[in-house]
Amino acid sequence: MSDVPDLPSSRLRRATPARIGLGCAGAGMPTAPMLEFQMAHALARDAVQTPLDADALAATLAQAGFPSPLLLATGAGDRTTYLARPDLGRRLDQASRLLLKDRGTTACDVALVIADGLSATAVESHAPALLRALQMRLTDWNWAPIGIVRQGRVAVGDEIGALLSADLVLVLIGERPGLSSPDSLGAYLTWAPRIGRSDAERNCVSNIRPPHGLPPDQAADKLAWLMTQARRRRLTGTALKDEHAALPPSPATLDVPEG
């Protein structure tokens, strides 16, 4: 059996993917939760190793009405290098750098970057819907062409934003998969992007992954508020607190007694 109905933890299990109250079979774990764990581990490994299909993602964005994205790459030439050398994933390769320089330096409000990160699954599943929802909320912004980056880390957006003379850069990236979230998308905002920006100078909206995390519409509400405030105050990071109205409680709230 995978659960023990008379334990208080049974009610908690209905509201969280965390592995609690699994029961036991002798000195070990019951078969069902053990198989579930092995499946979750396999999905996490697949999320990290599966390559981003940048051409298919570009086609999806084009069908949604976005201008043709720029296909970029970092100094990490393959997945093995990317995982072993995080520093290489933070900088563009020479060909990508020249491509952006050739586009000129016309200033824009925001540069959009989509990077595979540690879950191409998250990017392919959620980034297009999030971008559509966000652009509907920020219709008066001047957007640079979307850059799709293979083998990218968050900080690669700093170089891209600087090369595109953007006031703000928004990086959508696949987050590190846990054993219950192989498709979680993160969004990182940085004002005045340039090489060398620190994580303390960014704002992040994470766990964008319907139906188990933040839906794209709610994530877009948060991001639109943060981006508007960033432009008004000319900053991001620890100096910009998320004061956006609290989200309504989930209808699937756990019925657990207080105390």
Relative to beta strand 166-174, strand 202-208 is: unpaired
Could you give the CA distance from residue 140 to residue 125 in angstroms, rounded to a whole number? 27
Q: How big is the CA angle at 116 (ends 146 and 97), to the nearest 5 degrees?
A: 55
- β-partners of residue 214 are 208
Could you give the CA distance from residue 19 to residue 17 in angstroms, rounded to a whole number? 6
Query: How deeply is 117 buried, as exposed, middle or buried, from its count of CB atoms within 10 A (0-12, 13-18, 19+)?
Result: buried
Question: Looking at residue 104, what is its pLDDT?
Answer: 63
DSSP states of 97-155: HHHHHTT----EEEEEEEE-TT-HHHHHHHHHHHHHHHHHH-TT--BPPPEEEET--TT
Q: Element (H or E) spanning 33, and its range?
A: helix 31-49
Which of 3.40.50.150, 3.40.50.11240, 3.40.50.300, 3.40.1670.10 is the CATH number of 52-239? 3.40.50.11240
Low-confidence ranges of the chain (pLDDT < 50): 1-5, 247, 249-259
In the DSSP assignment, the letter for residue 200 is G
Residue found by looking up tokens 């990508």 in the block: 96
Give CA 197 to chain center in angstroms. Answer: 19
Domain limits, the chain: 9-48, 52-239
Sign for the CA dihedral angle at 195, 201, 203, 206 comes to positive
Neighbours of 64 (CB within 10 A): 12
pTM equals 0.84
Question: Looking at residue 237, what is its pLDDT?
Answer: 96
Question: Looking at residue 218, what is its pLDDT?
Answer: 95
Question: Looking at residue 31, what is its pLDDT?
Answer: 84
Nearest alpha-carbon partner for 118 in 152, 70, 81, 167: 152
Could you give the CA distance from residue 223 to residue 130 in angstroms, rounded to a whole number? 10
Nearest alpha-carbon partner for 103 in 141, 67, 49: 67
Q: In this structure, which long-range contacts are made by residues 245-254, counting pairs with CB atoms below 8 Å and at least 24 apart in sequence?
A: 247/218, 252/15, 253/15, 254/11, 254/12, 254/14, 254/15
Residue pair 206/218 in contact (Cβ under 8 Å)? The answer is no
Tens of pLDDT, residues 49-63: 889 999 999 999 998
Q: Which two tokens stand for residue 176?
A: 């590190």
Question: Looking at residue 47, what is its pLDDT?
Answer: 80
